[in-house]
Homo-oligomer: A and B are copies of this chain.
Amino acid sequence: MDLLREKNEMREWSRAMKRAGKRVALVPTMGSLHAGHLSLVQRAKQLADVVVVSIYVNPSQFSPTEDFGQYPRDVQGDLNKLQPFCVDAVFNPHDLYVRDANQSGTGLLESTTKSSQQAPNETIDDKRELNLKRQEGGHGHETWVRVEKLELPLCGRSRPGFFRGVATVVTKLFNIIEPDVALFGKKDYQQWRVICRMVRDLDFAIEIIGCDLQREEDGLAMSSRNVYLSSAERLQALSISRSLMQVKEAVLNGIVDVSSLVSLVKQEITSAFGRVDYIEISEQESLRPLQFVDCPAVLCVAAWFGRVRLIDNIELEPSQPQ
């Protein structure tokens, strides 16, 4: 398993594989891998000859108030988890963004310039150079990819800039690794839809595979952030998946009124001391909000338990033929 830390090295690796006639799959992650990620890796092995897993924690999708600094990182643990799956390469770049001393105007957050991902060997000459660049008006990263409608609802409302950061870093990873196929978990349902739309609109020659959300045995959706739940919060958080199953059942029984279904979820979560961010039922592709489950739909939830924000979702098919 090759561990690659430089963009050019990664691109060369991938191009060498393609010259040898291999089909390349990419599984983009932010590390802290769990069984959900590993199910993507397994699927990738079936779909391609070689599999690259990226474990870069992307600063540009965190807002200043979010947990970029605290986001769990465990590179050695990730490598150990990937080894048994015969992953061919792990991409863990030092940094993916051009930096300068004047980041405030670029949309990359101040705090991230001081992060652990800053180039480690910065010299006084580099600093002088950086200063000069700042005087010249700043040469930092300033190019952003936006999926202007799909980025708006759901997590887009509570996490402004999040999908811009995701679409941009995925574009960069696509351009560096040039995969034939890329796999995304449907746990991040809106993210998966944003990427599908971006690939279509920008004509990337990459097949996007959305893979089913994976749950722990007790029903909790797998997430790198689950490690931050106390055992009490963990129990309370089961209210999310429990209520999603109840909604699925209700729809099968002909209840298609969105406000009733949403109330059911809200009731479960709040009575388990969760703080709801949003609960919405949307058309699956456009994420347009629905009043009735009368087309392929998805119920998306975000809720806080203690200091941990969890998301979950379930696809719903209309119970009656259209």
Residues on A lying within 8 angstroms of B by beta carbon are 7, 11, 96-98, 105-107, 136-139, 141-150, 167-168, 171-172, 175-176, 178, 197-198, 200-205, 283, 285-288, 295
Asked if A201 and B149 make an inter-chain contact with CB atoms under 8 angstroms apart, the answer reads: no
Asked if A142 and B136 make an inter-chain contact with CB atoms under 8 angstroms apart, the answer reads: no
Q: A98-B200, A143-B201, A175-B203 are in contact. List 13 more A-B contacts (CB 8 A).
A: A11-B205, A97-B201, A105-B149, A136-B286, A137-B287, A139-B286, A141-B201, A142-B150, A144-B145, A144-B146, A146-B146, A171-B203, A175-B204
Q: Which residue of B lies closest to A147 (CB)?
A: B143
Asked if A136 and B98 make an inter-chain contact with CB atoms under 8 angstroms apart, the answer reads: no
Asked if A136 and B202 make an inter-chain contact with CB atoms under 8 angstroms apart, the answer reads: no
A138/B142 contact (C-beta < 8 A), A7-B203, A172-B203, A176-B203 known: no
Option from B97, B176, B286 in Cβ contact (under 8 Å) with A137: B286
Asked if B7 and A142 make an inter-chain contact with CB atoms under 8 angstroms apart, the answer reads: no
Asked if B98 and A201 make an inter-chain contact with CB atoms under 8 angstroms apart, the answer reads: yes
Asked if A175 and B143 make an inter-chain contact with CB atoms under 8 angstroms apart, the answer reads: no
Copies, count? 2
The 10 closest A-B pairs by CB, nearest first: A137-B288, A143-B201, A137-B286, A175-B203, A142-B149, A172-B203, A142-B148, A143-B198, A143-B147, A176-B203
Scoring A137, A141, A142, A200 by chain B CB atoms within 10 A of each residue's CB, the highest score goes to A142
Complex: how many Å from CA A149 to CA B203?
25
Complex: how many Å from CA A145 to CA B144?
6
Asked if A148 and B139 make an inter-chain contact with CB atoms under 8 angstroms apart, the answer reads: no
Option from B106, B139, B143, B201 in Cβ contact (under 8 Å) with A142: B201
| A317–chain B nearest beta-carbon distance, Å | 16
Asked if A143 and B148 make an inter-chain contact with CB atoms under 8 angstroms apart, the answer reads: yes
| A146–chain B nearest beta-carbon distance, Å | 6
A136/B7 contact (C-beta < 8 A), A142-B149, A202-B145 known: no
Complex: how many Å from CA A223 to CA B191?
42
Residues of B contacting A141 with CB < 8 Å?
A: 201
Residues of B contacting A288 with CB < 8 Å?
A: 136-137
Residues of B contacting A139 with CB < 8 Å?
A: 285-286
Q: Which residue of B lies closest to A177 (CB)?
A: B203
Please name 30 pairs of A and B residues whose Cβ atoms are closer than 8 Å in the assembled complex, sorted by A.
Answer: A97-B201, A105-B149, A136-B283, A136-B286, A136-B295, A137-B149, A137-B283, A137-B287, A138-B286, A139-B285, A139-B286, A141-B201, A142-B147, A142-B149, A142-B197, A143-B148, A143-B197, A143-B198, A143-B201, A144-B145, A144-B146, A144-B148, A145-B145, A145-B202, A168-B202, A171-B203, A175-B202, A175-B204, A176-B205, A178-B205
Residues of B contacting A138 with CB < 8 Å?
A: 149, 286
Residues of B contacting A149 with CB < 8 Å?
A: 105-106, 137-138, 142
Residues of B contacting A148 with CB < 8 Å?
A: 106-107, 142-144
Complex: how many Å from CA A146 to CA B147?
11
Scoring A138, A144, A287, A295 by chain B CB atoms within 10 A of each residue's CB, the highest score goes to A144
Residues of B contacting A145 with CB < 8 Å?
A: 143-145, 202
